[in-house]
Amino acid sequence: MKFIPLWFLLFSSLATHAADRPNILLIYVDDLGYGDLGSYGHPVLRTPNIDSLATDGLRLTNYYAPSALCSPSRAGLLTGRHPYRTGIKSWIPEDSGVYLRDAEITLAEVLKEAGYATAHIGKWHLNSDLSNRTEPQPTDQGFDYFYGHNAFQIPHNFNPTNIYRNKKALPMQEGYTADLYAGEAIRWLEKRDQDEPFFLYLSMAEPHTSIANPPEYNAMYAQYSRGKIEPIVNGLKDPPKESLVPRGPGEYYANITYMDAQLGRVLGWLRDHKLEQNTVVVFSSDNGAVTSQWINWWEVNAYGSTGGYRGRKHYLYEGGLKVPTIVRFPGVVKSGSVSDATVIGMDLFVTLANIGGGKVPDDRAIDGIDIQPIFRGDDLPQRGLFWALDSVSDLEFAIQKESWKLLLDRDQEPRELYNLADDPLEFFNLISKEPAKTRELTDEAAKHLAAIANDPLRPN
């Protein structure tokens, strides 16, 4: 059983009555790019339900994921700590023995102690095996209920064979993952203890490849597709080379619109059951888009948009880190508002814990801050943001402070410096022209790395 500090349990007894606190719906989608929504400027994609959150809430234009890859991003989101502190440096391969350890305290645990019913529906990917009892599972990490998959859906979005309920592997689930997860979320909402507020972490599979869609959604974007639609199959011993045929962005667009429709079912349920006004909804993506610059075979026919920013998933340029994020908080957040405040995923841990009356752990380093000041139009304190990612690029570290961003290689040598105020697309490397700024940010990155290396909870 996981050890919870005494102060943590004592605080829960002092928490205000559950009915006084809002419900929390945290929607985390998979590989959605900054430019992949109508409300973020996509000229083709139809996402009316997600866009309605922006119409009714706050749209963030300068939000960064904790990482440019899924597993570390999810670790940062749920713990409020830099992913490298948790030992999760990249995506977690199957049977690798990498997992989010018991020593970490998740947002679900914080809110559960504060009196919330908790559920995780959808992608987990914070261990290497959902059937391995030696690796903490979602229901060991503060979630009362779990239904979902780990890394990616097999064989693809349709009729997945790798879905678990709590710790039990299920037979093939008939249908598309967006529909399955929306439906399961609604069923859990209906069956939960109605006297408790809820925290629902709805982690959609879309638009992560491989993609499969209902035919009527593919038909909506037929003009952007060519050739026979044949989903690429994951989970085979060898890559299905005969299926790796570029067909244009139509299927990718359809996948996002279908996901939007299923999210609309969940949002509609809240409205129909008169819970909309007492529910905080946060929508975000785990990392930047997989663009048409594919680097893995299973990415074929992904056509994500970074909104013009450089890079993509796997890289610490803006396109790999900056993602669309929306907060709807009726009575607190002004409808149709926009903020360009710099926010990072670890902030959501602190903010949602505070909104729910939970206790942010004070026995460990927390890398997020409470962003509620921007809900009322105020500023956030100046700070530096730091990323680290062991992936396909040799630029493993990035530090951003004010308008300056420095990228460093695996040996912590500074390589690229950009002034994002003048050059948001990261065209002009100023490292040779700004030696003082380079030294300043290199020193700042070294401080972050030293704090991570000396973190007493960091696994060896």
Region 195-203 average pLDDT: 98
Compute the radius of gyration of the chain from its Cα atoms.
21
Residue 323: pLDDT over 60: yes
Cα 414 to Cα 428: distance, rounded to the nearest angstrom? 15
**Cβ contacts of 393 within 8 Å, gap of 6 or more:** 314, 315, 316
Q: Work out the pLDDT band at 6, boundaries 50, 70, 90.
A: very low
What is the distance between the alpha carbons of residues 63 and 142, in angstroms, rounded to a whole number?
26
pLDDT, tens digit, 9 for 90 and up, residues 219-267 = 999 999 999 999 999 999 899 999 999 999 999 999 999 999 999 999 9
Task: Provide the phi-psi class of 122: left if phi over 0, else alpha when psi is between -120 and 50, else beta.
Answer: left
| pLDDT the model gives residue 2 | 59
Q: Which residues contact 182 (CB under 8 A, 6 or more apart)?
A: 202, 262, 263, 265, 266
Read off the pTM.
0.95
Instruction: Give the number of other CB atoms < 10 A from CB of residue 195.
Output: 10
Tokens (6 digits) for 95: 């049977």
Residue in this structure with the two tokens 């785990």, named with its chain if needed: 286
Cα–Cα distance for residue pair 169/386, rounded to 1 Å: 37
Average pLDDT, integer, range 69-98: 97
pLDDT, tens digit, 9 for 90 and up, residues 94-150: 999 999 999 999 999 999 999 999 999 999 999 999 999 999 999 999 999 999 999
Q: Which DSSP string do the residues of 70-107 spell out, in sequence order?
A: HHHHHHHHHHSS-GGGGT--S---TTS-----TTS--H
| The pLDDT value given to residue 18 | 46
- 341-380 pLDDT, tens digit per residue, is 999 999 999 999 999 999 999 999 999 999 999 999 999 9
- Domains (ranges, CATH) in the chain? 6-381 (3.40.720.10), 394-453 (3.30.1120.10)
